[in-house]
Amino acid sequence: MRCNMRIIPAIDIIDGKCVRLTKGDYNTKKVYNENPLEVAKVFEDFGIQYLHLVDLDGAKAKHIVNYKVLELIASKTNLKIDFGGGLKSNEDLNIAFNSGARQITGGSIAVNDKETFQSWLDKYGPQKIILGADSNDGKIAINGWQDDSKEEVISFIKNYQKQSIQYVICTDISKDGMLQGPSIELYKTIIASCSNSNANQSIKLIASGGVSSVDDLHELKEIGCEGVIIGKALYENRISLKDLDRLL
């Protein structure tokens, strides 16, 4: 049976290279390929349509850094790219969209500068703006996961849902890069809580972190996730592109 949940491989960028971290710790950096375009083309060749591209340098620097990588992948493939990491200003946002992003993800700014983030949502609409809700022990983590905020994950998402947000990427940081399975209970709670909200519609929840097998993908689909981001499981061959090809 074909999967109608979107499969979204991740490419994380440091110094222009394709890397992975564990639990967001920059000291755990592992370089998988020095040419992110090459990786993106392999994904596209296997029928992948979507790409989650993260500017880890930007997340740390608090402004967009690796937009040239975005521009290259967007111009050389037909992948539909959502881009995040360090987007803190209108200028950052313009650079991201002008470089080829189909959607952008805002996390820290949605905590620290709600007025600006809301203005992006109002201007570009909920199809273009994704809420990044990265969870550390139930609280939203910000600034490339270097800091914790006081925002509770569920209330944070529900508040923006009332402001018309549709797409939400939620990463359980404790699961990220661990290959020990995703945070199923957290996602169930989010989906149930936001389905009962007074907002006009349910959110489209994109799960991220911990995916280690095809069984994880089926479970995320069953609980109602709209999409799933896969990173280390692909790079470490725990899930093959042929596995994904059978699901697409």
Written as one letter, the residue type at 106 is: G
What CATH number did the domain enclosing 56 receive? 3.20.20.70
Q: 185 pLDDT exceeds 80?
A: yes
Which of the following is catalytic: 134, 172, 176, 216?
Answer: 134
Tell me, what's the pLDDT at 200?
55
Which of the following is catalytic: 12, 57, 172, 216?
Answer: 12
Cβ(63)–Cβ(85) below 8 Å: no
Number of domains in the chain: 1
Q: What percent of the chain shows pLDDT beyond 90? A: 76
Tell me, what's the pLDDT at 245?
78
Assess whether 134 carries a catalytic annotation: yes
Q: 32 pLDDT exceeds 60?
A: yes
Does the residue 136 lie in any domain?
Answer: yes
Q: 24 pLDDT exceeds 90?
A: no
Q: Would you give the DSSP letter of residue 23?
A: T
Q: Give the total residue count for the chain.
A: 248
Does the residue 41 lie in any domain?
Answer: yes
The candidate with the shortest Cα–Cα distance to 233, out of 244, 225, 223, is 244
Q: 1 pLDDT exceeds 50?
A: no
Does the residue 55 lie in any domain?
Answer: yes
Assess whether 12 carries a catalytic annotation: yes
Does the residue 1 lie in any domain?
Answer: no
Segment 136-182, tens digit of pLDDT: 877 887 765 666 677 899 999 999 999 999 999 998 888 777 778 99
Rounded-to-integer distance, Cα 170 and Cα 83, Å: 15
Average confidence (pLDDT) over 200-204: 79
Q: What percent of the chain shows pLDDT beyond 70? A: 94
Q: How far from the centroid of its chain's Cα atoms is residue 8's Cα?
A: 9
Segment 106-129, tens digit of pLDDT: 998 999 999 999 999 999 999 999
Name the residue with higher pLDDT: 149 or 235.
235
Cβ(30)–Cβ(23) below 8 Å: no
Tell me, what's the pLDDT at 147?
62
Segment 38-65, tens digit of pLDDT: 999 999 999 999 999 999 999 889 999 9
Does the residue 238 lie in any domain?
Answer: yes
Give the CA angle between residues 4, 42, 34 to the nearest 5°: 125
Determine the structural domain holding residue 147 and report its residue range: 6-247
Q: Whole-number mean pLDDT of the chain?
A: 91
